[in-house]
Amino acid sequence: MNSLVTFEMDGDLALIGLARPPVNALGQPLRAAILEAAERAAADPAVKAIVLHGSSGLFSAGADISEFGSEASFAAPDLPGLLLRLTRLDKPLVAAIGKLALGGGLELALACGYRIGEPGTRVGLPEINLGLLPGAGGTQRLPRLIGAQAALDMMLSGAPVNAQKALDIGILDRLAPSAESLLDEARAYARELVAGQAQARPAVPFPEPAKGLPEDFLARFRQDNEPRWKSRLAPRLLLSAVEAACLLPLEEGLAREVALFKEAEASRQSAALRHVFFAEREAGKVPGIDASTQLRTIAKVAVIGAGTMGGGIAMNFANAGIPVTLLERQGDALDRGLAQIRHNYGISVKRGKLSEAQLEQRMALLTGTLDYADLADVDLVIEAVFEKMEIKQAVFRELDRACKPGAILASNTSSLDVDQIAAVTSRPQDVIGLHFFSPANVMRLLEVVRGKATAPDVLATTLKMGRTIGKMPVVSGVCFGFIGNRMLEPYAREAHRLVLEGATPAQVDGVLTGLDLNMGVFSMLDLAGVDVNFLVRDANRAAIAHDESYCRLGDELYALGRFGQKTGRGFYAYEGRNRQDDYEVVALAERLAGELHVPRRPIGDQEIHDRCLFMLINEGIQLLDEGIALRAGDIDLVWLNGYGFPSHLGGPMHYAETLGLDKVLAGIRHYQKALGDYGQMWFTPAPLLERLVAAGKTRIEPF
Ligand code: 3H9
């Protein structure tokens, strides 16, 4: 028997164990092995029932994602065909679902007539996160098992459900009392079925999955949800598959599902999302650290500064059950900070996401102090004070005096030199940058800034800690703005300059949101605060080689007190949250253009796209060349998780590969010439981009 499955006889039961670590991904070799084992059990008259399980306990994480986009994906036996064969066996098949059954793993379980889980089991159809839909019967069998509405909710959210929920809604028939007893319970279940001469498959609970729903349910569902889907293809295809489940007999529905799945698999969006899946896993692999790196314990944390950022950072740890000490200079600031955190949790309670008891538990993990001496026993301190080098250095001198040896000292700086901060301590090896993004309790990105002296175990510990608190940590080297904000600079520069040249803020933002970015540059600045942006820029004027032309607009808005949404006017005028174009801004741009001798002209959307995006991409490629980012995929993760770049474009680096690196380079060269002195100053192609194109490479990688 193929070593990817185990085959055991236990009386009149055949036990087939999936044995392809780490997650029993259902690639072609495993599919072939399952088919062979199933045929053997089917052909053996001594076998009365079959138990399918994960031999290491874990059932299956679904199809092998690395096969998609290649011939292996549907190489025989393909997953839909294998599962169809299993549904035609005339012996009861029990799926013993340990730990998880996701995607094709759950579809495999659905092809079995009977399913048993254990308390830790999670089941789900997360294909949507990969720009796919379930393609091995999930869209047809799940609606028939739990009804169309519940199945749609599960497949569109992609979120797994726990064992109890799976039992309640009918995905599981039984629950074993523990993971350890799962296989025994599955055997006992199979024996009961044999003894009771049970059918190979029980009757389908929802033979007509849409029965009882309003006639226009699916049409309305599409209408209500389409705006949220923006240009995403997979939810639309998924809905079509569920329509087929409601309207067609099973076999026809299955065929329709395969066709829709193949369309999704071949799409750029799915390729982009699969890239993101693997990039997220790669991001944890960092030269100089590996599984043998001893981690430091993080049982107690301190945050310096109880402002919006510090409070948000503290909440992450309280949410993960880790006690946090919040330090401020003044009692009233501390009280305000703690009250704000309580207020934030209160909003979650109102929304039903948190109970009052949980709110109190989390608040109980937060302790306020005004005294550095109270930080003597913390394992990690994160400084989140005003973004000024002297202030941060003063804090780090205090931390160096107060904290125990081995404590990790982190700065939440968004742009300052972590090495200069580390230099004022006696322990630069323990210092690291941990750049959270606002709102820090919500945003997933965590830039982990490795200083030149940062010890490998400090890096490894903070990466692990980041994942523990639910963040997506990405390693960056030290440079102004690190990965994200350094790339933001040329991207935002083009947006501003385009407004001087004749575009409106709404036109620029419209092109960017047309790509499905969450927000355009100007809406983002109005939300974050034109004043905040001005102050950061002003503090760093010397560090950024400024060209007056593109800063002037923001500077003048600041001088006019147009700070954005909070003052009702910024790049736009606001009534509540509704934004409108403001003629004053256009007039201001016209005046500034005159003063700066910038010719104004009608600007096309393509030019806006190319100038903003190509400059963003160019800077990313430069960061890779400088070694600030380790991989193109890391850069993508920064922009996906911190800047609202749509994941179905895969991030700016993946998007550049989709557009064609030669086209990006040609575009940059075009504007270098077309925009006169300005083009000469700013549109310099990154040398790595030139080298990659010259060598005919289509992927962005160090070269
Ligand atoms: C599908 O099923 C389509 C069908 O409907 C139709 C087909 C026709 N394939 O995340 P981890 C690897 S679509 C290949 O670090 P964790 C992963 O890359 C699929 N590889 O661990 C990593 O490798 P490495 C639907 C996979 O404990 C290693 O396993 N299923 C797959 O944090 C460990 O993974 C999904 O979308 C896979 N399916 O999380 C589930 N899964 O060590 C996707 C994992 O070399 N997977 N790997 O870097 C997950 O959500 C998480 O990996 C899981 C484990 C929760 C399973």
- Residue 227 to residue 513: CA distance in whole angstroms: 13
- For the CA of 130, the closest atom of ligand 1 is 36
CA of 596 to the centre of ligand 1 (A): 54
CA of 25 to the centre of ligand 1 (A): 7
Ligand 1, atom 28, residue with closest C-alpha: 22
3-state SS string over 356-398?
A: HHHHHHHHHCEEEECCHHHHCCCCEEEECCCCCHHHHHHHHHH
- Asked if residues 372 and 345 have their Cβ atoms less than 8 Å apart, the reply is no
CA of 22 to the centre of ligand 1 (A): 9
For domain 484-694, give its CATH number from 1.20.120.420, 3.30.43.10, 1.10.287.610, 1.10.1040.50.
1.10.1040.50
For residue 123, pLDDT over 80 is answered with yes
The CATH architecture assigned to 301-476 reads 3-Layer(aba) Sandwich (3.40)
CA of 61 to the centre of ligand 1 (A): 5
CA angle (252, 253, 254) in 5-degree steps: 90
- Residue 411 to residue 121: CA distance in whole angstroms: 39
**Kind and range of the H or E element at 474?**
strand 472-476
- Asked if residues 97 and 116 have their Cβ atoms less than 8 Å apart, the reply is yes
Q: Which pLDDT value is given to residue 532? A: 86
396-433 pLDDT, tens digit each:
999 999 999 999 999 999 888 999 999 999 999 999 99
189-199 pLDDT, tens digit each:
999 999 999 99
Pocket test for ligand 1, best of 65, 121, 278 (most atoms within 8 A of CB): 65
- Residue 458 to residue 382: CA distance in whole angstroms: 13
CA torsion through residues 479, 485, 488, 493, sign: negative
- For the CA of 281, the closest atom of ligand 1 is 48
CA of 123 to the centre of ligand 1 (A): 13
Beta strands in 548-634 (DSSP E): 573-575, 578-580
For domain 5-265, give its CATH number from 3.30.1240.10, 1.10.579.10, 3.90.226.10, 3.30.1330.10.
3.90.226.10
Look up tokens 């409601």; give the residue.
246
Pocket test for ligand 1, best of 34, 58, 71, 281 (most atoms within 8 A of CB): 281
Active-site residue 626, yes or no? Answer: no
- For the CA of 277, the closest atom of ligand 1 is 18
Pocket test for ligand 1, best of 4, 18, 20, 23 (most atoms within 8 A of CB): 23
Domain with CATH 3.40.50.720 in the chain: 301-476
- Residue 361 to residue 545: CA distance in whole angstroms: 49
CA torsion through residues 130, 131, 137, 138, sign: positive
- Residue 176 to residue 186: CA distance in whole angstroms: 8
- For the CA of 278, the closest atom of ligand 1 is 18
* Polymer length of the chain: 703
- For the CA of 105, the closest atom of ligand 1 is 2
Give this prediction's pTM. 0.95
CA of 626 to the centre of ligand 1 (A): 32
CA of 484 to the centre of ligand 1 (A): 27
Average of per-residue pLDDT values in the chain: 96
- For the CA of 107, the closest atom of ligand 1 is 5
With b meaning 16 or more CB within 10 Å and e meaning fewer, what string describes 144-161? Answer: bbbbbbbbbebbbebebb
Q: Which pLDDT value is given to residue 582? A: 94
- Residue 27 to residue 361: CA distance in whole angstroms: 44
CA of 23 to the centre of ligand 1 (A): 7
Q: In the sheet where 174-175 sits, what is the strand order?
A: 5-10, 13-18, 49-54, 93-97, 114-117, 174-175
- For the CA of 138, the closest atom of ligand 1 is 5
Helix (H, G, I), strand (E, B) or coil at 231: coil
629-659 pLDDT, tens digit each:
999 999 999 999 999 999 999 999 999 999 9
Domain with CATH 1.10.1040.50 in the chain: 484-694
Ligand 1, atom 55, residue with closest C-alpha: 61
Return all residues near 400 (Cβ < 8 A) that are at least 6 apart: 409, 424, 425, 426, 427
For residue 551, pLDDT over 90 is answered with no
Which pLDDT band, with edges at 50, 70 and 90, does 544 fall under?
low
- Asked if residues 102 and 124 have their Cβ atoms less than 8 Å apart, the reply is yes
- Residue 549 to residue 498: CA distance in whole angstroms: 10
Q: Pick from 61, 70, 170: which is nearest to 107 by CA? A: 61
- Asked if residues 165 and 70 have their Cβ atoms less than 8 Å apart, the reply is no
- Residue 366 to residue 524: CA distance in whole angstroms: 31
566-612 pLDDT, tens digit each:
899 999 999 877 899 999 999 999 999 999 999 999 999 999 999 99
Q: Which residues pair with 368 in a beta bridge?
A: 326
- Residue 605 to residue 661: CA distance in whole angstroms: 20
Active-site residue 71, yes or no? Answer: no
The ipTM estimated for the assembled molecules is 0.99
Q: Which of 67, 107, 185, 243 is catalytic?
A: 107
Ligand 1, atom 43, residue with closest C-alpha: 61
Q: Which pLDDT value is given to residue 2? A: 59
Ligand 1, atom 46, residue with closest C-alpha: 61
Domain with CATH 3.90.226.10 in the chain: 5-265
Return all residues near 621 (Cβ < 8 A) that are at least 6 apart: 653, 656, 686, 688, 689, 692, 700
CB atoms within 10 A of CB 569: 22
* Pocket of ligand 1 from Cβ distances under 6 Å: 22-23, 25, 61-66, 79, 102-104, 107, 126-127, 130, 132, 134-136, 138, 261, 281
Q: Which of 127, 494, 501, 657 is catalytic?
A: 127
- Rounded average pLDDT over 116-145: 98
Q: Which pLDDT value is given to residue 547? A: 67
Catalogue the long-range contacts made by 352-360 (C-beta closer than 8 Å, 24 or more residues apart): none
- Residue 656: phi, psi to the nearest 5? -60, -40
